[in-house]
Amino acid sequence: MHEDDDPEYRINAAEQLAKLDRRAAAEAVLTIATDDGIDPEYRINAAEQLPELDPRAAAEAFRAIATDDGIDPEYRINAAEQLAELYSRPTV
């Protein structure tokens, strides 16, 4: 696997990008979180970074994971719970 195809590398790069451009970082992290070709654990980890960067993008990411019937229900439930928590915050 090429280094920039590695989900962990992509997440780390997005974290670095957040120091320079939060909007671009949110887009990068959202892309990772909604990529159904990536292991669900990486998708959840990416989505968990989004509330700080962009709560609406976080909602989109958690919704995408929660409704992805191609992944283990445990990940879907986790995403749904985090989506509900996100909506209970006053900022979304």
Q: What is the pLDDT of residues 41-82, one digit of tens each?
A: 999 999 999 999 999 999 999 999 999 999 999 999 999 999
Query: Is 2 a residue whose pLDDT tops 60?
Result: no
> What's the mean pLDDT when you consider all of the chain?
87
Angstrom distances, CA of residue 54 to CA of 11, 15, 47, 71: 15, 13, 10, 24
How many domains, the chain?
Answer: 1
- Among 3-7, 23-27, 80-84, name the most confident range: 80-84
Range of the domain at 58: 3-88
In which band, very low, low, confident or very high, does the pLDDT at 1 lie, cut at 50, 70 and 90? very low
User: What is the C-alpha separation between 90 and 74, in angstroms, rounded?
Assistant: 27
Where are the extended beta strands (E) located within the chain? Answer: none
Q: Judge contact between 22 and 57, C-beta under 8 A.
A: no
pLDDT of residue 14: 74
> What is the pTM for the complete model shown?
0.79
Task: Read off the DSSP letter of residue 21.
Answer: -
Q: Judge contact between 70 and 56, C-beta under 8 A.
A: no
